[in-house]
Chains A and B, each alone.
Chain A
């Protein structure tokens, strides 16, 4: 059975009269990677929180498999949708394996005791993300790339259908960025649906099937295939500055670059 998360005409404001999202729409489908891009403060994280059911839209609706997301209980929702926030700050140290086991919460008993199946699923998630060797390490002692992969493992241990990831690559170096994105593509082939917020338009161009472009006005500027959305005019409209797009030198994807008004020599 396919899994589909659809947001229709979603509007949201944290404080009255300060609209953060204005009639935003998106469809997150299993088996595809959707990138959510846009300038700082355009509401990308807020939109992801609404898709994850953490916030409820003031207007519009979010449906998971034709049922209002709000009508799901928290744990029921979490068995379909996993959400990875932009940053986390653990209050105490856990081992990598314990962190991954936390992902079993929507499936486990209230006491948090683990069944043999929980342990098996957690171990599989470690293998999937190639973090098995880190199993006994302290989570706090990991490098940024390792942390991100372990957090992905902990999300996978939740056994969701859809992954909503807020800037999963922003703290990583260029090599680890590509590694995490390749892992996400791999998961997508396995049938997961993925939505990720990113600032790296070239990464989005290379790895996403669809791109949702939010503008500084908190509306959707464009939604579609990367080569249709990541164009000079649309990006310039969304970011309110001149952005040029060419052909990637050695990959079949657009290549995006911002320019200064007086021209920066490029």
Chain B
């Protein structure tokens, strides 16, 4: 228990440090001294370059990375338990592809002059991404849940198939789109937390926070379900309800995140894995720390995207470049006998 707790505290510190670093590091580094000075002096944000960069760009961007990364990592841990599969991610059920398909439809529609400006000030790309991701999840569920308990395998296969269908939809929209629009559309696919203003941050907060609380509260039941569904049922866990709840809330949260920051990959896969190596498989620690580490990891990737590679690299590329090799390392290091039951 002791080393686990120490690891947990270190992880928490690292994530907080990433959040701070993400505030000050960028194309132009911000001097903390200057910020404090100008803040003390009561200068209006608009008059101070340092304050303006901090509050109008860095802070919303950092918050978006923290919230998006936290949510994706948590959803990954939950889906791995729900599908009883270590390679499950929040995107296994096709949410990312379906969301991307929706976003591309929105691009095409606006080019065709059917401009839908958005709902309640939320851009149409975001709205479409969310609606398509939601439709995907409903379809997957209807396909898989006709029996008393939906079998994880059927859920997984239905999700993978829906993802492939959405991908061919993306190909089709690509084919139909004006060539000069492809750059913008591709850019969306690569993801980004370079949000403008606080509206996306609010969307993320309202989407992630309640879902995360609901999912964290299922930790004990996920432990039971992961050990044995039937044994869990005998102990009074309502398996069907647990499946429906984690499936729908996890999907909702993922869909909201994807609609705002795009289908940023690998976080939902590697963060729960790395955290599991530290905490063991009990879900209360695993999920809580995945939340923390996910936020820190996406901040870290965003700093790299901004600073280390020339120009602004799309964050999805950074997470994949870091996440892929790291996952291979985890694969080689871990004994996987415990998963192949």
Contacts and interface: CB of A to CB of B under 8 A. Distances in A.
Interface in A61-119: 73-78, 81-85, 88-94, 98-99, 102-103, 105-106, 108-113
A221 to B, nearest CB: 27
B238 interface: yes
Contacts of A82: 234-235
Contacts of A73: 236
Give the residue among B230, B238, B281 with the most A Cβ atoms within 10 A.
B230
Contacts of B230: 54, 83, 85, 88
A93 B231 contact: no
B114 to A, nearest CB: 46
Contacts of A109: 220
A52 B234 contact: yes
Interface residues of A, number: 37
Contacts of A83: 230-231, 233-234
A233 interface: no
A105 B284 CA distance: 14
Interface stretch (B125-133, B156-164, B315-323, B333-341): B333-341
B253 interface: no
A91 B78 CA distance: 13
Nearest to B233: A54
Interface stretch (B35-43, B66-74, B182-190, B221-229): B221-229
A53 B338 CA distance: 30
B61 interface: no
A23 interface: no
B282 interface: yes
B84 A91 contact: yes
Contacts, number: 101
A92 B338 contact: yes
Nearest to B147: A14
Nearest to B220: A112
B9 interface: no
Contacts of B227: 88, 90-91, 94, 99, 102
A47 to B, nearest CB: 14
Interface string A126-164: 000000000000101000000000000000001000001
Given A89-B228, A90-B226, A112-B219, A158 B235 contact: yes
Contacts of A85: 228, 230-231, 234
Contacts of A112: 219-220, 223, 282-284
A92 B226 contact: yes
Given A105-B220, A110-B220, A112-B220, A92 B234 contact: no
A138 B282 contact: no
Interface of B: 81, 84-86, 217, 219-221, 223-224, 226-228, 230-238, 276, 280-284, 337-339, 341
27 contacts: A52-B234, A77-B236, A81-B234, A83-B234, A85-B231, A88-B227, A89-B228, A90-B227, A90-B228, A90-B341, A91-B84, A91-B85, A91-B226, A92-B86, A92-B226, A93-B281, A102-B223, A102-B231, A105-B220, A105-B224, A105-B237, A111-B217, A111-B219, A111-B220, A112-B283, A140-B341, A158-B235
Interface of A: 52-54, 73-78, 81-85, 88-94, 98-99, 102-103, 105-106, 108-113, 138, 140, 158, 164
